[in-house]
Amino acid sequence: MSTNTQIIGMENVLSLILVNENIRPAFLFQPRIKNNKETNDTIIEKMKEEFPELHYSDKYQNYQGVIISKKNFNHGKNISNEQMGKILGYPCYKGFSSLDMSKPIYIAEVKIVSNVGDFTVLLNTCANKSKIGAFQKFAERVKAAVTKEKYMHLMSLYGISMEIDTVKVVFTKEVTPQSILDKLIRGADLNEEDKKQILQIIFNIGFSIEFQLFYEDNYQYDNPVHRGIMITMLLNFINNVLEPFIPLFQYPEQDKKVGLILQALETQLMESIKKTRIDTVRQKRSTRKNK
């Protein structure tokens, strides 16, 4: 097994092969290690070692990650979200910026299923299933590309050679934060899909596991104060003021400060949720009456 696979990561290796074999036009590497530029630089270095003919572009505006392609995008120009989708070969790139987020969307995923695990090689947000044919055509070309002899030194994990069982396309319906927000504002009940998505949002915000567990045990969906807290959280999530600075690892000092602010927010949210639980409020009122 190549130690480079361990450093680069199997999903990244598979995506690089697909770019190298012209199955997809580009791949976006988004640094996965917070506050560790050296580690990210090492990953890029090993990628270049294995795939020296590809371009690794990071000098463009609206930075989202390193664009790895046979084309050079180090032009310093702005790349919009829709343009990025086209560069990366996403079938649903058109209209991405104008998706109706008050309705459910679909997450389209092309996944390699193997004896050493499942690996996603394409992930795209779509308004509907109209592009499923394009995803299926893409999936049909994947296995032949990644099993070429010249890549065999990269195709193992934990000392076990990868054997691909199948490459499948999965469309998953997903509730949007905006649709949950609309329900809360209308006073409508949330279903289990909504509640599951809220937990995912809490994770995406960056709250700790402790907070996530606290939320599951203490948040009351029929509590008007708790619903108000959730409305505020969703509004902040949808309108993320830090978005222009993502990924934050580019600003290590500010990233640390954001982490501290998030910890303080967690503490205050936990205190607010605990103090405003319906049973807690009733107990306080009862205590006052007895006095």
Distance (Å) of CA 1 to CA 138, 173, 180: 27, 37, 46
Q: What pLDDT sits at residue 233?
A: 95
pLDDT, one tens digit per residue, over 261-287 is 999 999 999 999 999 999 865 655 555
Residues 45, 50, 54, CA angle at the centre, nearest 5°? 80
Distances (CA, A) of 11 to 147, 211, 235, 258: 14, 30, 33, 29
Amino acid present at 214: F
In the chain, where are the structural domains located? 3-174, 177-290
- 108 is written with which tokens? 């389209």
- The pLDDT of residue 35 is 45
Mark the ranges of the chain whose per-residue pLDDT is less than 50: 35
> Would you give the distance in Å from CA 290 to the centre of its chain?
52
pLDDT digits (tens, 9 = 90+) for 167-205: 999 999 989 999 999 999 999 999 999 999 999 999 989
Question: What is the pLDDT at residue 38?
Answer: 60
Looking at the DSSP bridge assignments, the partners of residue 57 are 67
Please give the Cα distance from 81 to 96 (Å, whole number): 8
Q: Which burial class, exposed, middle or buried, applies to 53 when counting CB atoms under 10 A from its CB (0-12, 13-18, 19+)? A: exposed
